């Protein structure tokens, strides 16, 4: 439930946001293979390699409203590739740096002439000659048979070649490759042999390591629940890991006979071949989504990627690829798109319903302001005339009932006015203006001049904020809160109302619902009235909620609901705090525009 760059801040400087912004803005799909990313693990940055794609999601109007990301960690494969490349490079360096030792052997005299490099290969120092017997003594006993068979063959066809081990004077064992050409006389008898000896110990060792790396790569590839494959420079697939056979149910022989396209869905084959051919001809990474046949005859979506492996000259040596099952993600995307369309349609219907409700609310406001109030005024007028003209003819009980009727009519008048005010607060046009709150306080004091005087109330206010608000709504907010304080007073205690304000960041006010990095104007209005039990601090803002009987305190229970609605219209937040018989405090937090 956090933005990705907040949850993983280490990605901020690695270009991820720019990629997301580009996809969200342009709708262009982005995909990358074996991309190195640094992520924080166990308190330390660790480099991993991932294959991933970003794809825009569209709503029913064709607008981008989200991104789906599919990623796969291919660190093991990449490290395996790099290790193989390192071993291949090492092997090439060994071969290039190797030096040849030369020799000439006379069959009749048994004399052996050798170069300095040959003596060095066999571990002999200086310019001392090496006899034929010394040469033979150096060959590993287990390899003498290999040497003798190679010589027998050479005495027939003239070509000598074999590989064997030699034991140096210091007991060190090294590998050599011996090549030679046998020269014959006119009677086809061997006269001499000229040749070379190459120390291939490093090459032999490197080859063994390479074979071990290749074996490890194959073991790793066979252990992965993913299609792993390689291809030669011409794009001919020459290796599949075991998962390919397990998934498809095809044998190695069947794939060799029918070709790898037999696994691909018939509808995807033509585009598959075109994409693969383009990559082979251009050397660009291969990236393609297609369906593979499973052993049970069903097809599942795969995301296939292949990257060319280059030598030091930048020439392609081979291709290494992988195919990842994305069937569930595909179905999820399709389901998500369906839900988006469905929810969009629901939202459109809800907006239509809301528009109808607003029309009905406007109609209600008209009825409240005109049709309902007109008969009510007649009731009030006729009851007043009856009391004025027929007062002496009424019994005491009748007089009391008429007074109660007038009080009920007044309460109904007040309720209609409050409902009308609430509806106007909800649907009125919101035009914000920079407003001096001190000026609004002065205007409210003038409006409530008689009430303040009759209650002997005192209002104290500091230098208040200047804020961008809806002026007439905020005047109504202040008037309702001050009227509330005048209404809910303690007997024999003069009302004392304090109003103060301050500005600051949300983090400075220690209120969970505020944004820590947003600037707010905090307005506090407190009084010394009857207060309320803190457990009712939410209930008092609900429509028609009263904590006291209507006979004890007048009102309709709408005033604070209007206050809350006005604060919400300003994207703000209001908190009520109170103690019985000690007063109430209302804290309002409004963001600065």
Pairing of strands 433-436, 466-469: antiparallel
Q: What was the pLDDT predicted at 91?
A: 46
Kindly report the CATH class assigned to 224-325: alpha beta
- The per-residue pLDDT for range 424-433, each reduced to its tens digit, is 555 455 678 8
Tokens at residue 211, please? 């074979």
- The per-residue pLDDT for range 232-281, each reduced to its tens digit, is 999 898 888 888 888 899 998 898 888 889 999 999 999 999 999 999 99
- The per-residue pLDDT for range 135-181, each reduced to its tens digit, is 888 899 999 999 999 999 999 999 999 999 999 888 889 999 999 99
Q: In angstroms, what CA-CA distances link 194 with 151, 176, 466?
A: 13, 16, 104
As its CATH architecture, domain 342-427 has Orthogonal Bundle (1.10)
Q: Hey, which of 37-41, 252-256, 269-273, 335-339 has the most confident mean pLDDT?
A: 269-273
Q: Which superfamily is assigned to 99-199 in CATH?
A: PAS domain (3.30.450.20)
Helix (H) or strand (E) holding 446: helix 437-447
Cα–Cα distance, 237 to 242 (Å, whole number): 14
Which residue is associated with the tokens 């500091």?
462
Q: Which residues contact 202 (CB under 8 A, 6 or more apart)?
A: 94, 98
Q: What was the pLDDT predicted at 417?
A: 64
Provide CATH code, domain 4-73: 3.30.450.20
- The per-residue pLDDT for range 92-136, each reduced to its tens digit, is 454 345 477 888 899 988 888 888 888 888 888 766 667 888 888
Give yes or no for residue 554 having a pLDDT over 80.
Answer: no
Give yes or no for residue 548 having a pLDDT over 80.
Answer: no
Q: What was the pLDDT predicted at 94?
A: 47
Per DSSP, helices labelled H in 46-188 are 75-97, 116-121, 132-138, 144-157
Q: What is the average per-residue pLDDT within 301-316? A: 88
| pLDDT confidence band for 7 (50 / 70 / 90) | confident
Q: Cα-atom radius of gyration of the chain, to the nearest Å? A: 46
Q: What was the pLDDT predicted at 331?
A: 86
* Model confidence, pTM: 0.37
| CB of 380 closer than 8 Å to CB of 413 | yes
Tokens at residue 547, please? 């904590």
Q: Which residue has the higher pLDDT, 512 or 593?
A: 512
Q: What was the pLDDT predicted at 244?
A: 87
| pLDDT confidence band for 324 (50 / 70 / 90) | confident
Compute φ and ψ for 475, nearest 5 degrees: -65, -40
Q: Which residue has the higher pLDDT, 231 or 357?
A: 231
CATH of 430-591 among 3.40.390.30, 3.30.565.10, 3.40.50.2300, 3.40.30.10: 3.30.565.10
Per DSSP, helices labelled H in 158-290 are 201-223, 242-248, 252-258, 266-282
| pLDDT confidence band for 373 (50 / 70 / 90) | low
Sorted by where each begins, the domain ranges of the chain are: 4-73, 99-199, 224-325, 342-427, 430-591
Matching fold, domains 342-427 and 430-591:
no
Q: CA nearest 309: which of 397, 239, 398?
A: 239
Residue 104's region, left for phi above 0, alpha for psi from -120 to 50, else beta, is: beta
Q: In angstroms, what CA-CA distances link 576 with 274, 293, 475, 586, 588?
A: 69, 65, 19, 5, 9
Compute φ and ψ for 133, nearest 5 degrees: -70, -40
Q: Which residue has the higher pLDDT, 89 or 34?
A: 34
**Lowest mean pLDDT: which of 169-183, 469-483, 488-502, 515-529?**
469-483
- DSSP symbols for 498-509: EEEEEEEEHHHH
């Amino acid at each position: 439930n956090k933005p990705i760059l907040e949850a993983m801040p280490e990605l901020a400087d690695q270009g991820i946001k720019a990629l997301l912004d580009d996809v969200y803005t342009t709708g262009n799909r982005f995909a990358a293979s074996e991309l190195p990313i640094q992520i924080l693990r166990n308190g330390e940055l660790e480099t991993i390699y991932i294959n991933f794609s970003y794809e825009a999601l569209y709503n029913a109007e064709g607008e981008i409203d989200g991104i789906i990301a599919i990623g796969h960690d291919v660190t093991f494969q990449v490290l395996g590739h790099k290790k193989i490349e390192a071993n291949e490079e090492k092997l090439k360096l060994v071969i290039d740096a190797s030096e040849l030792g030369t020799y000439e052997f006379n069959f009749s005299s048994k004399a052996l002439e050798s170069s300095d490099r040959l003596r060095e290969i066999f571990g002999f120092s200086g310019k001392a000659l090496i006899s034929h017997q010394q040469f033979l003594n150096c060959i590993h006993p287990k390899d003498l048979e290999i040497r003798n068979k190679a010589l027998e063959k050479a005495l027939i066809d003239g070509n000598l070649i074999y590989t064997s081990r030699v034991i140096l004077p210091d007991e060190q064992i090294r590998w050599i490759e011996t090549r030679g050409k046998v020269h014959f006389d006119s009677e086809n008898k061997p006269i001499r042999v000229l040749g070379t000896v190459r120390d291939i110990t490093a090459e032999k060792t490197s080859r063994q390591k390479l074979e071990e790396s290749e074996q490890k790569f194959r073991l790793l590839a066979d252990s992965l629940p993913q299609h792993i494959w390689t291809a030669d420079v011409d794009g001919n697939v020459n290796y599949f890991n075991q998962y390919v056979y397990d998934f498809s149910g095809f044998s190695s022989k069947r794939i060799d006979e029918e070709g790898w396209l037999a696994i691909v869905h018939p509808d995807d084959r033509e585009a598959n071949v075109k994409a693969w051919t383009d990559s082979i001809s251009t050397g660009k990474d291969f990236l393609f989504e297609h369906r593979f046949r499973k052993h049970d005859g069903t097809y599942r979506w795969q995301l296939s990627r292949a990257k060319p492996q280059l030598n030091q000259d930048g020439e392609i040596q081979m291709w290494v690829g992988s195919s990842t099952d994305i069937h569930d993600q595909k179905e999820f995307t399709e389901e998500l798109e369906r839900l988006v369309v469905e929810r969009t349609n629901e939202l459109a219907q809800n907006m239509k319903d809301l528009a109808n409700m607003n029309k009905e609310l406007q109609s209600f406001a008209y009825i409240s302001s005109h049709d309902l109030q007109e008969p009510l005024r007649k009731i009030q007028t006729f009851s007043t005339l009856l009391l004025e003209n027929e007062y002496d003819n009424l019994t005491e009980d009748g007089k009391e009932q008429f007074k109660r009727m007038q009080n009920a009519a007044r309460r109904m008048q007040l309720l209609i006015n409050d409902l009308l005010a609430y509806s106007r607060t909800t649907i009125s046009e919101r035009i914000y203006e920079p407003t001096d709150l001190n000026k609004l306080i002065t205007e409210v004091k003038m409006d409530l001049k008689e009430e303040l005087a009759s209650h002997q109330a005192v209002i104290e206010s500091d230098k208040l904020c200047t804020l961008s608000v809806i002026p007439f709504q905020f005047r109504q907010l202040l008037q309702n809160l001050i009227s509330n304080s005048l209404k809910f007073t303690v007997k024999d205690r003069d009302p004392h109302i304090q109003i103060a304000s301050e500005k600051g960041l949300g983090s400075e006010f220690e209120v969970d619902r505020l944004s820590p990095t947003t600037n707010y104007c905090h307005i506090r209005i407190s009084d010394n009235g009857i207060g309320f039990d803190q457990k009712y601090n939410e209930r008092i803002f609900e429509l028609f909620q009263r904590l006291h009987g209507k006979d004890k305190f007048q009102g309709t229970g709408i005033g604070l609901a209007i206050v809350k609605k006005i604060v919400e219209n300003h994207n703000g937040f209001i908190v009520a705090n109170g103690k019985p018989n000690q007063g109430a405090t209302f804290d309002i937090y409004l963001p600065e525009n």
